Structure 1
């Protein structure tokens, strides 16, 4: 690293909390080094309260760009100059690029998730899925799945501050796609069971399962799972959440968040550098 950093090295960041578990710095720095690009990628512990000052500081420091993760994906939009069409539809951002002082927000989570499914030969097009969550990642997944041709999505979330966001997501999907989408209260266990019984895939798109919720799951018990149900989790640290452990014991096919993290990162890498990430090289390091 010391051999690579020069007076011309540009900084790319990641802002979230918690963040020290992230594999993104390893992924991007290894990719920069492999391609001989003069960038360095660092993680910063940032919550909503610090967000305005951080964005202002990033502008002043002329960062090339940065990633945004929980809980800042929705809140960051108001501090940017413009949003990509996908980010406007989702209402959240996970990638920002700085072009001569103009900060543009993009969302690559949805494409990353769908690409990860494809890599695992999991086909949900024309089928029904059930998903828990209403934050930036959940919204991006729902919107992209609908755009790609998923037939029906049942979204579950607790009636917290994110529930209104989920209601807005439902309206966007109904207005812009042919996907049938419905929103339910996560506390309605009877409805959750019914929707999961009719779905080919169940996705946890919340932070449940990662710190500080390691060992916890949103499902009331394992009876909600059946062997032919595909179970995915956006969490990748730990690699196997409590949800995935339970699902494996029930005979379900499972997928953690590593693939989504890789492919959303590859798209962000391309946005910042104009070059394709060396995917196979990065896979060998991360996996």
Structure 2
């Protein structure tokens, strides 16, 4: 960890397995320095079998807060004192705040994603008709935050319909659940199409989650993937005149919301993005 951690007044971290690839330490430590905060962020590689002991150790050390990534986002909830309402609905925690010795769990993935959308569009999303592809953990976070934000219409399509139904069950029946064939027919009606699946992620870069030949004019196609930075799907969508957003926005957004929960300061998102992009170029 070096000399910086010895000078730190507060210590923050990341619990995951593995964590060697994580860009969070570089992103947060750069922001702590920019904001003039004597804090330090370190990634801790924690085997799932050791999670309880790791949390107890962090509690004993008085760690000020930490992020949680795979495979611990659900299991961590068992060891917290309180869980934010949105995190309860999503069923996963990715950020923990130490409030006077009590661990409070949040999920900043969805809020971070909505923030990245607002930054991209430069306007509100209340009149948007939105299609979400996939019904895994990322979809649950995105759909929950978009639903709570309030949009014109929200639909989920997934190979296994029951998984999509489970997301709707915790929110509201206004959310439409569509089989792929029915959703494809309505493609031209959507202002925003979001891919929350791994389709198109390296090394399977040639697979695409959705057709692009009948997109609505001005449609925004958003992919949560950032490896590659521009998926084949986003390239095809751009070729059809669509606007696009890659997964860096969500990653930076969730980090920014976590940073604010820990410090009370909204960070420099542009600088955080630059740090992440630089990390990605090195990989």
Unaligned 5+ segments in structure 1 are none
Give the corresponding residue for 1:274.
264
Residues 39-78 of structure 1: matches in 2 within 5 Å? 39-46=39-46, 50-78=50-78
Corresponding residue for residue 281 of structure 2: none
Q: 1:7 to 1:228 in 2, by over 3 A?
A: closer
What is the aligned residue count?
Answer: 276
Distance change >3 Å, CA 75–CA 222, structure 1 → 2: farther
TM-score of the superposed pair, with normalisation by structure 1: 0.81
Does 1:171 find its partner at 2:162? Answer: no
Residues 157 and 183 in structure 2, CA contact (< 8 A), matched pair in contact too = yes
Residue 142 (structure 1) aligns with: 143
Cα 1:220–1:117, aligned 2, differ >3 Å: closer, same or farther? closer
- TM superposition shift of 1:96: 0.7
Quote the Cα distance in structure 2 between the aligned partners of 1:155 and 1:33: 41
- How far apart are residue 12 of structure 1 and its match? 1.7
Offset of residue 259 of structure 1: 2.0
Q: Do the aligned residues in 2 keep the contact of 1:97 with 1:103 (CA within 8 Å)?
A: yes
In structure 2, the gaps of 5 or more residues are 278-283
For residue 193 of structure 1, what is the aligned residue in structure 2? 184
Paired residues of 1:125 and 1:151 also in contact (CA < 8 A): yes
SS of residue matched to 1:120: helix
Structure 1 partner of 2:280: none
The answer to whether structure 1 residue 264 and structure 2 residue 258 are counterparts is: no
Q: Residues 45-97 of structure 1: CA distance to partner in whole angstroms, max 9, x if unpaired? A: 45755544443443344322111234433333233221112222322222111
In structure 2, C-alpha distance between the alignment counterparts of 1:221 and 1:126, rounded to whole Å: 23
The whole-number CA distance in structure 1 between the counterparts of 2:260 and 2:183 is 38
2:88 partner SS:
helix
The match for 2:80 is 80
Moved more, 1-10 or 80-89: 1-10
Deviation at 1:218, TM superposition (A): 5.2
TM-score normalised by structure 2 residue count: 0.82
**Larger deviation, residues 15-24 vs 130-139:** 15-24
